[in-house]
Structure 1
């Protein structure tokens, strides 16, 4: 995970958008300063996404550091030796997160010199005693279920006045903390559902709901494990924290820079090499990051200038980094916080989620590499000369030790089939050992003193513990606040929502999928991926499964949840609010809207995958347990995605003729929906893989047709050079 930098002031996402527009309007006259400011804006976007921004100092700074380290130590303890009831873990996790938010993010976030006329609010651009008081009350209200658990259990369904007071205080202060850390969108959605819960009986008949009383609402939300303390917060408290901490520590240890240099060594010399290196580097970083914006800040500050150097336009350089970093959340084994919640909702081991996500994720990355090759071919670009690239073997050896914790993680998850929290804990222990000894070893090799190097290693570990906790604040708030929506749905709203969606779609599963995809993109513009997934999965995943059954075919619950997950991620680069596009555009010095549109055009090849695996369950390896069969499905998914990319980008090995585009789309259908083609031509379902050669034949035919044109273009480019 990305660790926040020390900044002079805090800034909200809306303010970043406003100032980014001003930043791009005058970049012609301030080229060099804007380059520096662009990177800083991207870093602030990453910090805004994670929630906490490191401008605390003095007593507040020390208190924040201590609380954050204690939180990390608590999470490591419950993963190893400390046995605590699950509801206590959730309450303590929420209390740590909520007090960190109030100690770090003030009521209003702006620079005091922007609006000197707002004298009354100037004291509130920084944390004040009021924030301390609110933080203490918020933490106490979060811990209330822990402090009086036996009493609450005995009076289940019959809350006292004290229960109601602490429950209302928790809901209000939680929504305010969520507003501070990730913006107003999620609290507004939660308030809408709360209002609907109380006003349901007064709604028109078609959307009428029996409604809830205050006692039932507080009992569900704050006195049980069906609301705020539900599954999303449980996953955040037991699993996600450890993986966020692991990613933060890996970045602090220097693995992010190693991944970029390794990718450049491997791919930098090929046509459009920096773009390919950006994609590979972002994929490697994204496996442990779980954040598209943090991924851009980590890799894009290095790869985007390199792409521009070899000839990529600024907009396309930024868009490639956007597409690569966004897809990092799809890449196993970590896949961001939402993947762990999928495992809990679907009630399967996490390794099953990894298995289901593997083919679509890696096929999507392969297609993006192909798109970068297409763009390089269009522009007549070449790679970076080998002499300018770092040497492969020394680069690999310099960071080979970073593979040890990753290897431990994969070994624990895949070979030993241990729980995700145990796997992450043991990988963190290996990583801590590496962080402790890598500086002394380097000092010994350089003939320097070992003790200062050992102190530096210890300092890195404690800073990582603090940064990991700070990075979790946004995720914890998102999962807790989304739990309110999940709790309202569980109160009886779920069946009504399914009925409404059925009426809107007219019972048509395709229309239902487009409604879900559009809603995910729309909601995801203002929410983190995790919150978007929780909201959409709660509302639409059961409806997708039920509508499929109504139409006579089975949609696996895993496929429905992955569908919501994919489109929640794609919202990160969807104009006009895609934050990932703003971050990349700032670094590339490109217009953010154009960068977002271009990035979305690249990501169309990812957007078709959910529609395909809803109907072709082979793509998520459903009931596929053979390695040869799985590899065949993966290879054909890559070919289908390549063909789709060629059709949408207007280029295969040469510029497409209009009549070639339907042929390329046909290849996509043959390779991704062999079951459908087999049903059309009368081939039995168990013989559907014989459709693959027909798709390859069409693909080869298009290659032969375009080859003479490609040769003429190569000769023309050579003559021009």
Structure 2
């Protein structure tokens, strides 16, 4: 155990390296609209909001065990209560007062609730009328569309609602266009009826997965956080990697990767973990742009990391009709290669600049961390068992895992949850789910119009036409489309949009659906670190004090493996460990890992000493060949890389001799 003086030293160090909580909240609110919420002076209103949020969480727990009402009723209730919370919690403008509730927001909340009350009261009539809405259908449907647009504006910013509005206009006036995007056009009444009376509009698959998988796993994350899982990941990462070269940066990668996989919120993850890791990275000598970029790339990468992938794996399984286990297995190796690439560059930068880690006396001990909070790993292991081996549904597995989390947390006093903690976890889970749910409802408008007009197929044909017969050009255009569509959006809505708009272009060229969906998923997510709208990188720069755009470009460089690997698994799906034997899988993993490390050397430009540009180009080419599952390419690449490493060794030796002679 550490002495009291050492403990005081650590406490002082933490105090020095942590910016104020106000600073963190300011950064979060600047780059994450979801964090700009009201804090009521009126305790009655505050309690009403809390009760509504907790009730929504309890409803989802109840339905995950006992079953849901019919689809339209279940989804409408989910959307309505989420909208109620939006109008109670989110002020209409940035400068609006955050301590009072305006009368019109209370009215909007009542209007939102009325849309689901009507669905429950006249459900049979709505179903029987089908595509022929009456006046009441149009009234409540029109209200719902407008309320969703306004809620999306408040929670996500202008980007998503403007896109949804453009799609609505396209649905109405598409007959006036020329070319492949022309369609027969639809009247407002027909569009409203389609959006409100069917499960293809606002109540589409997007909101369906929000009302099932996403909400439950966000709730699971809230219970984990309340039990101290976030602190456990930080402490464990510090104990395991803190003393190594560039230790705090490696801690950032490990902690942010785990947390990002669970919560799926890149910007929030940057601020939560980065408020701890970024100051430590700067303290040992990393430049502020690099420190912010490390946190941004690690936080974004968590969403491609199994087992949870920010709930994307479950949505992908739902859309593709595949077992979850198949999605998770396919995503595993590319995600590990991504993080290996990030850690390689971090280590090389530390070596190049002579940076060290944190002294052992200022670090927690692995045994002590595991003894105090190691039991918190049990819910994660239980979840993996339920998902992979139990044969039970994903929803039921999530429900049981939440119960197990509460029970396991009771083992030790430091993690034990009181009734108040459980109440807070239920409330925080519902509040956290608001952003994704609102985005999914707005995405329902976009996907609904795309379905109604055939826009998705037209866009796919357009991408294929532009790319011609070249798969590479088609992939590049699809990548750009995904990055543009993903700017400023949460990862789940981004995936739903890109899987609807961009993935069909790849499927049309004969690429397997799973491969196509993983490709668009990667690039939709990496929009968060791709300038000019790189929200995760901008948030990290806000904490590090670095330049936003430079931080974004450095984050892209750190994530270079993530930009290349999707292209490689399109050309050869062995990287997804599908259609391969065990021996082939091991060989692919080893060669790809070596390739990613060499790619990191080429990107960082340092190995033992500075790497000349010519050798960097050779290393990059050899690295890509190694990551391409092909024995001939592997042999050529190993020959090239071996030669360059020998040359680099001689260069490093000569630099060392020159330094000695200079002394």
TM over 0.5: yes
Shift of the alpha carbon at 1:631? 3.2
Q: Is the 1:501–1:543 contact (alpha carbons within 8 Å) kept by the matching residues of 2?
A: yes
Q: Is 1:612 equivalent to 2:568 in the alignment?
A: yes
1:654 and 2:609 aligned: yes
| In the alignment, structure 1 residue 487 sits paired with structure 2 residue 448 | yes
Give, in angstroms, the shift of residue 35 of structure 1: 6.0
Deviating more after overlay: 56-65 vs 626-635? 626-635
Aligned to 2:595: 640
Counterpart-to-counterpart distance in 1, 2:25 and 2:189: 48
Q: Indicate the RMSD between aligned Cα atoms, in angstroms.
A: 2.5
Secondary structure at 2:95's aligned position in 1? coil
What 5-or-longer segments of structure 1 have no aligned partner? 1-30, 113-123, 443-452, 549-553, 675-687
- Secondary structure at 1:79 match in 2: helix
Residue 474 of structure 2 is matched in structure 1 by: 512
Change (3 A) 1:188 1:718: farther
What are the residue-to-residue correspondences of 1:152-301 with 2, within 5 Å? 152-301=126-275
Q: Distance in 2 between matches of 1:585 and 1:559?
A: 33
Indicate the larger mover: 185-194 or 589-598.
589-598
Q: Who is 2:12 aligned against?
A: none
Counterpart for residue 577 of structure 1: 533
Q: Which residue of 1 aligns with 2:521?
A: 565
Aligned positions of 1:23-422 closer than 5 A? 37-44=22-29, 48-49=33-34, 52=37, 57-110=42-95, 126-422=100-396
Residues 77 and 710 of structure 1: is their aligned pair in 2 closer, same or farther, counting only changes over 3 Å? farther
Q: 1:411 to 1:702 in 2, by over 3 A?
A: same
CA distance in 2, matches of 1:104, 1:716: 65
Query: In structure 2, how many angstroms separate the alpha carbons of the residues matched to 1:652 and 1:354?
Result: 34
- Once the two structures are overlaid, the 10-residue window that deviates more, 393-402 or 145-154, is 145-154
Change (3 A) 1:475 1:424: same
Distance (Å, rounded) in 2 between the aligned partners of 1:139 and 1:704:
70
Per-residue CA shift, 1:121-158, capped at 9, x if unaligned?
Answer: xxx98531110111110122244333322111111121
SS in 2 for 1:157: coil
Q: In the alignment, what sits opposite 1:701? A: 643
Distance 1:339 1:56 in 2: 41
Q: Which 10-residue stretch deviates more, 37-46 or 520-529?
A: 37-46
Deviations 1:166-212 (A, max 9, x none): 11111111111111111111111111111111111111244321112
Contact map agreement 1:264 1:389 (CA 8 A) in 2: yes
Deviates further, 230-239 or 640-649:
640-649
Q: More deviation in 426-435 or 93-102? A: 426-435
Moved more, 383-392 or 267-276: 383-392
Name the CA distance, whole Å, in 2 between partners of 1:302 and 1:221. Answer: 44
Tell me which moved more, 467-476 or 500-509: 500-509
Shift of 1:66: 0.2
Q: Which residue of 2 aligns with 1:524?
A: 486
Give the Å deviation of 1:229. Answer: 0.9
- Give the 3 Å change call, closer, same or farther, for CA 45–252 of structure 1 in structure 2: farther
Query: Shift in Å at residue 575 of structure 1?
Result: 2.2
Match for residue 3 of structure 2?
none
Matched, 1:458 2:419: yes
The alignment partner of 1:659 has SS state of helix
Partner SS for 1:399: helix
Deviations 1:306-350 (A, max 9, x none): 111111111111111111111011111111143322222211122
1:471 to 432, 452, 455: 432
Aligned to 2:13: none
C-alpha separation in 2, matches of 1:197 and 1:228? 15
**How far 1:527 sits from its partner (Å)?**
1.8
Aligned residue for 1:438, secondary structure, equals coil
Structure 2 SS opposite 1:271: coil
Structure 2 unaligned spans of 5+: 1-15
Task: Answer whether contact 1:56 1:104 (CA < 8 A) is retained.
Answer: no
> Which range moves more in the overlay, 263-272 or 124-133?
124-133
Residue pair 2:202, 2:445 contacting (<8 A) in 1 also? yes
Residues 1:597 and 2:559 aligned together: no
Asked if the contact 1:435–1:461 (Cα under 8 Å) also holds between the matched residues in 2, the reply is no
In structure 2, C-alpha distance between the alignment counterparts of 1:611 and 1:143, rounded to whole Å = 48
Shift of 1:87: 2.4
Task: State the shift of 1:526 in Å.
Answer: 2.5
Q: Which residue number in structure 2 is paired with residue 586 of structure 1?
A: 542
1:697 offset after TM fit, Å? 3.6
Cα separation, 1, equivalents of 2:407 and 2:290: 41
Contact in 1 for aligned 2:481/2:502 (Cα 8 Å):
no
Listed one character per residue, the Cα deviations across residues 195-247 of structure 1 (whole Å, up to 9, x for unaligned) are: 11111111124432111233431232111111111111111111111111111
Q: Is the contact made by 2:42 and 2:100 (CA closer than 8 Å) also made in structure 1? A: no
Is contact 1:50–1:471 with CA below 8 Å preserved after alignment? Answer: no
Q: 1: CA distance between counterparts of 2:306 and 2:659?
A: 40
How far apart are the structure 2 equivalents of 1:630 and 1:143?
54
Structure 2 distance, partners of 1:33, 1:561, is: 39
User: In structure 2, which of residues 609, 613, 623 is the aligned counterpart of residue 668 of structure 1?
Assistant: 623
Shift of 1:693: 4.2
Distance 1:631 1:60, change over 3 A: farther
* Separation in structure 2 between the aligned mates of residue 44 and residue 197 of structure 1, nearest angstrom: 34
Change (3 A) 1:579 1:494: closer
SS at match of 2:607: coil
2-structure distance, mates of 1:225, 1:469: 23
Instruction: Write the distance in 2 (CA, Å) between the matches of 1:34 and 1:247.
Output: 25
With structure 2 as the length reference, what TM-score do the two structures score? 0.92
